[in-house]
Chain A
């Protein structure tokens, strides 16, 4: 019981001084996807001979840099079904992990500023409804009821004409998700090895036989790469090419002020999304930068246009102060949908191509990848996201709805 830990603190996960010679499953990347996969491998399939190799500390990458928005109102039926399952898992996760992830489902509003945007909203609402996801197109008076703080007047250059309303959407404490999975995986015997960088793979034909790390070599049964923005580099170490480009995404928080904004606001036209955390900070992010880079220095122009666009929606934030800004890496696939599952290497599985959506999918990625690793079969839910689709050209286009839909 977690409550007792208030008085009797316990270690979240064990330090692991040595790497073993061999693991049944080696997971590259100690973020939310890698940890979730390890957790479900142990919990649902009894596979505990698992090592997570993390080059820095757990949650040091995109898991700890995203803007914590959870939603499932995707455009494609494949995407909506997949993320719908993810939200359902997230809803029960605090209980399952015995760790309060502070999932705050106050609703998610994707604003439309043009009649063209309304068509996209309508389409998403229809797809969502058919798949049992709560989602509807609402008009400005209804928006005003849900978010009286939003400027719905004709003052802004692009007045709001409607919104896609997704009641189960909301925000979560992203680090808690990482730590909760890490603790639960560790308690089931999974080994978490921070500061352990993967430097190469040894192959025998179409199989990986061992993994080289900064702390020595380990043999492996199966390998899962859950390395987000670094995926194509890990792929290169294995000897395969992934159709992934890496871009940065920037975000910032303001100084904490008394909370008044409960819903998540997203505007694709203004390239901005805004939420207010339980600490009172406004958390604001923008679109992926158009250029590819691994360099994590952000840009001033991001701060400038995000500030300007935020004030179009919420002019009362004029004197709120930006406290801190940061960047994260995003792994983009050509159709903005993930690449999940098998690769041309028999025992090498990937979770990549997430763009800005990866964190939202952590639990369902864990469940499905664990099932794939344990059974060797690709679960139906992720079949559309197979890498083969780029050879067969059966893409799953989230691109049309993607222009900032966090």
Chain B
């Protein structure tokens, strides 16, 4: 029913736009929303309700209520009353079996009522238990609103933008605009956010207007995220001014959900913005002048106003709307009938205080207004306009009116006054319990249109005062927000070392190792890489190791207090293995500590532990205030481990004087500065993989150059998998794989490491305790009796019960057996003990060893 052209209308009648609505082709005008175009074309039913599948039509027309949720171009739960019209859009009804006008599921409304009271599902299908899955299947098929395509992928690009504002005004009504303009007088940096698409072109001098855009909440530190469809603005403002106004509340009476029952603001939008005559015959129900004034506005556009009921004057015994096929036909008031196809009814306005409550304001019931108002605003947050309760008329209507038919408190969840009363009668006698049992306020509107009504009905039923009942907690976000928008653009940082592309070129299998991408192996046969290290020469990229420089007069004190080991007696140029322990004496991380000078140490950590160890060092150093500086050089330096019997010879060819790396001048556990292939390098002679080896640390930019030089000398690249085999042959543990958060140095077989006669260090108290007791569990080596490799994680079994676990296991060519590390009970940790390991549901025998499977004397790595 489009009216003649009117002043102020937002549609452009010269530009027609067509789309499909529930299978019908509909043409509206540019400026229409999907709902207004459909309404103008005579469509009245937009959705079916959640539980009873009752037909629902436009109610608030402002994007709050659930009544116009439809699926638009495959996107479910779109409120079409605020969704702009667009050419070719496909708009479909959701949660219906057949069509919006004929929905089989509405049988639940017609005959299911007595069988499906609130909470009925708690009382049914308990026995037999076997029937529940079937019933649940039915329940699940009936649940939900719109459907997502279960196999769709990403379709949109979202961005996040960090913004600052001096003053952020939320809400573009009269009060918000005035506040923004006033703030703009004092200088720039004023932003106004409004959710109404009609404010898209709002211009205020000196004010940046974002519309349509929604402030989702006010989080800690005044963080206000603003949803602008595909951009999320994260605002931090010096002042936040909340001008979110007050939301019209439905009047609670039987039949109040019929199609044609509308809130006054919705009707005003249809007339004023879209030039639509909202009905032919209307009845107006209200208790404030603003609502009642709509009668004149209706008459102006040719609607016949059958009856205006001022609920301040009339105290009806009976008030209900009745209809046919879900549409309102008449109002029944104390036995009198007033025919209508439009029933404009309002229960008054409730301040939209959610943002303020979330920011920390208190919410109190104002007895003089009959609504909840915010008080005690937190610092930096102000409220202006009707959100404070200012200027609102007193809520005069009854909490609910009596009459024939279902009387809805919550249209989202189809909760009636009867349901509320029943819940209270059943003992759900706190408002939070009643909310959880009836699910009122838990639907798509999140209480915007039902919170006040439910509390008033509750108060009347329990004969309590609203002020004593209080509110239920306002939970962000203010309006539903897409996961995609919150997620922002996909961005997962990946760390790669400076030699990474050489590995890629060499055909390595690359895999995640903590935050890094690392080569697993350089082909199908990691055992060949193992053999190369044992027999000739291999090189592995270990740039991912954490690397710290600790320098200062008291650097040694810092390290001695962090580690259970001693470092003060080390000469410059020497290296020691170190394990960090927690306060509880548990193993945290391990690495090497090289003393480069009296006051300078070079510390390495595990690849995954680098950040945690850096933080740990810095934290303790701040506590103890030593004269020591910690510099994280993890990314600045690359590192490779050159290992194998030919390591010395190969390295000798790349340094200026081969004598620099001779067995006499560069001993096991020495740290020397060398120039290797022209690159200044710190060389550490250590032996994680059990062969003669040099760990070379040098500037990252020279990574590929030095790598190429080493490969040119015949070093075969090896990856993580061969390294795991090699270190396992030596019984070297990998912290985090062979140890867990409860492992300590004694149980992990490193009792030689802690120096308990030192002054205090982190974990000393616990270690002193451990040293006096028998460990419940021990980390030991084992060899399998047969040639089967148990899964890492396989269980050591005694009498059918798990008593221990395998942490590492591999077949070793060099040892000629399957070897591994495992945690076993203390009484089974003696070398030679036979244990059983569950492998593929079968028990296999294994022998405990001390863990050094290959070259136990260490002659090869010390050579």
Contact assessment for B124 and A2 in the assembled complex, using a CB-CB cutoff below 8 Å: yes
Our pick among B360, B430, B436, B481 for the contact of A175 (Cβ within 8 Å) is: B436
A325-B477 contact in complex given A10-B426, A122-B791, C-beta closer than 8 Å = yes
In the bound complex, CA of A155 to CA of B490 (Å):
11
Query: Whole-angstrom distance from the CB of A365 to the nearest CB of chain B?
Result: 22
Q: Confirm or deny: B802 has a beta carbon within 8 angstroms of a beta carbon on chain A.
A: yes
- Count of chain B residues with a beta carbon within 8 Å of a chain A beta carbon: 103
Minimum CB–CB distance for B199 against chain A, Å? 22
One of A112-120, A220-228, A373-381 contacting the partner: A112-120
Please tell me if the beta carbons of A12 and B426 are within 8 angstroms of each other in the complex: yes
With beta carbons under 8 angstroms apart, the residue of B123, B492, B802 that contacts A126 is B802
Distance in angstroms between the alpha carbons of A155 and B593 in the assembled complex: 40
Chain A residue numbers with a CB within 8 Å of B403 are none
Q: Which of B147-155, B341-349, B565-573, B631-639 lies at the interface? A: B147-155
Q: How many angstroms from the CA of A400 to the CA of B841 in the assembled complex?
A: 24
Q: Are B127 and A95 in contact (CB under 8 A)?
A: yes
Q: Which one of B82-90, B255-263, B734-742, B846-854 contacts A?
A: B734-742
In A35-62, the 8 Å CB interface with B consists of 56-60
Name the distance in Å between B17's Cβ and chain A's nearest Cβ.
Answer: 23
Judge if A214 is at the interface, Cβ distance under 8 Å.
no
A316 to B74, CA, bound (A): 11
Residue B793 CB within 8 A of the other chain? yes
Min Cβ gap B638→A in Å is: 23
Task: Check B709 for interface membership: any CB of A closer than 8 A.
Answer: no
Contact with B802, one of A127, A158, A310, A317 (Cβ below 8 angstroms): A127
B488 neighbours in A (Cβ, 8 Å): 304, 308
- Residues of chain A within 8 A (CB-CB) of B477 are 303, 322, 324-325
Residues of A contacting B773 in the complex (Cβ-Cβ under 8 angstroms):
393
The reply to whether A278 and B154 contact each other, CB–CB distance below 8 Å, is no
Q: Which residues of A contact B155 (CB under 8 A)?
A: 318-319
The answer on a CB contact under 8 Å between A258 and B144 is yes
- Per the bound structure, the CA–CA distance linking A323 and B794 in Å amounts to 43
Determine the distance from Cα of A326 to Cα of B426 in the docked complex, in whole angstroms: 27
Separation of A317 and B484 alpha carbons in the complex (Å): 8
What separation, in Å, do the CA atoms of A311 and B154 have in the docked complex?
9
Per-residue B-contact encoding for A231-267, CB less than 8 Å = 1, 0 else = 0000000000000000000000011111111100000
Among B215-223, B524-532, B642-650, the stretch in contact with A = B215-223
Q: For the complex, what is the distance from the CA of A255 to the CA of B360, rounded to whole Å?
A: 25
Alpha-carbon distance between A262 and B140 when the two chains are bound, in angstroms: 10
CB distance from B782 to the nearest CB of A (A): 16
Residue in B125, B428, B512 whose CB lies within 8 Å of A100: B125
Residue of A nearest to B776 (CB): A394
- A298 and B476 alpha carbons, distance in the complex (Å): 9
Cβ of A257: which chain B residues have Cβ within 8 Å of it? 76-77, 144-148
Name the residue of chain B whose CB is nearest to the CB of A277.
Answer: B143
Q: Please determine whether B220 and A126 come into contact, CB atoms closer than 8 angstroms.
A: no
**A100 with B126: in contact, given A127-B802, A258-B148, A322-B477 (CB under 8 Å)?**
yes
Which residues of A lie under 8 Å from residue B147 when comparing CB positions?
257-258
Tell me, yes or no, whether A194 is within 8 Å of chain B by CB. yes
CA–CA, A300 and B152, complex, Å: 26
Tell me the bound Cα distance from A40 to B770 in angstroms: 40
Q: How far apart are the CA atoms of A119 and B737 in the complex, in Å? A: 8
Pick from B152, B446, B511, B792: contact of A315, CB below 8 A.
B152
Contact between chains at A94 and B129 (CB < 8 Å): yes
Contacts of A130 in B (CB 8 A): 795, 797, 800-802, 838
Contact B432 A60, beta carbon cutoff 8 Å:
yes
The answer to whether A64 has its CB under 8 Å from any CB of chain B is yes
CB atoms of A258 and B430 under 8 A apart: no
CA distance A298 to B486 in the complex (A): 15
> Given A119-B737, A149-B151, A255-B77, do A12 and B121 touch, yes or no (CB 8 Å)?
no
Q: Which residues of B contact A394 (CB under 8 A)?
A: 776
Complex Cα distance, B444 from A12, in Å, reads 28
CB atoms of B482 and A256 under 8 A apart: no
CA of A129 to CA of B843, assembled, Å: 13
User: For A399, what are the chain B residues with a Cβ–Cβ distance below 8 Å?
Assistant: 740-742
Given contacts A116-B737, A397-B742, contact A310 B492 (CB under 8 A): no
Residue in contact with B145 in the complex, picked from A13, A124, A256, A297, CB distance below 8 Å? A256
Pick from A15, A95, A127: contact of B427, CB under 8 Å = A15
Chain B, range 645-664, C-beta contacts under 8 Å to A: none
Distance in Å from the Cβ of A66 to the closest Cβ of chain B? Answer: 13
In the complex, are the beta carbons of A255 and B145 less than 8 A apart? Answer: yes
| Cβ proximity bits B108-121 to A, threshold 8 Å, 1 near / 0 not | 00000011010011
CB contact under 8 A between A321 and B481, given known A9-B426, A95-B129: yes
Q: Is B475 an interface residue (CB 8 A)?
A: yes
The yes or no answer to A334 lying at the interface (CB within 8 A) is yes
Residues of A close to B492: CB separation below 8 A: 157-158
- Which A332-381 residues sit within 8 Å CB-CB of chain B? 334-335
B358 touches A297 (CB 8 A): yes
How many whole Å from A105's CB to the nearest CB in chain B? 8
Asked if A104 is an interface residue, CB under 8 A from chain B, the answer is yes
Q: Is the CB of A57 within 8 A of B143?
A: no
Cβ B444 vs Cβ A3 within 8 A:
no
Of chain A, the residue at the smallest CB distance from B127 is A95
Q: Does B814 make an interface contact (CB < 8 A)?
A: no
Whole-angstrom distance between the Cβ of B588 and the nearest chain A Cβ: 12
Among A57, A92, A397, point to the contact of B433 (Cβ < 8 A): A57
B512 near A158 with CB under 8 A, answer yes
CB distance from A15 to the nearest CB of B (A): 7
The residues in B between 27 and 77 inclusive whose CB is less than 8 angstroms from any CB of A are 50, 75-77
Contact B143 A278 (CB under 8 A): yes
Does A163 belong to the interface (CB within 8 Å)?
Answer: no
Q: Is B597 an interface residue (CB 8 A)?
A: no
Asked whether A11 is an interface residue with its Cβ less than 8 Å from the other chain, the reply is: yes
Residue of A nearest to B794 (CB): A126
Is A395 part of the binding interface, using a Cβ–Cβ cutoff of 8 Å?
yes
- CB <8 Å contact, A121 and B793: yes
23 A–B contacts, CB within 8 A, in A order = A2-B124, A3-B123, A9-B425, A15-B427, A57-B432, A91-B129, A95-B129, A103-B132, A120-B793, A122-B791, A149-B150, A155-B153, A157-B494, A158-B492, A175-B437, A255-B77, A257-B144, A259-B141, A278-B140, A280-B140, A311-B483, A325-B476, A397-B740
The 7 closest A-B pairs by CB, nearest first: A280-B144, A123-B793, A122-B793, A157-B492, A321-B480, A307-B486, A318-B484
Interface residues of B, Cβ cutoff 8 Å to A: 50, 75-77, 95, 114-115, 117, 120-127, 129, 132-133, 136, 139-141, 143-156, 160, 217, 219-220, 223, 225, 234, 358, 360, 422, 425-430, 432-433, 436-437, 442, 444, 446, 473, 475-477, 480-488, 490, 492, 494, 511-513, 584, 736-737, 740-742, 766, 769-770, 773, 776, 791-795, 797, 800-802, 805, 807, 838, 841
User: Can you add 4 more A-B contacts, CB < 8 Å, to A308-B487, A335-B741, A393-B773?
Assistant: A6-B117, A114-B513, A321-B481, A399-B742
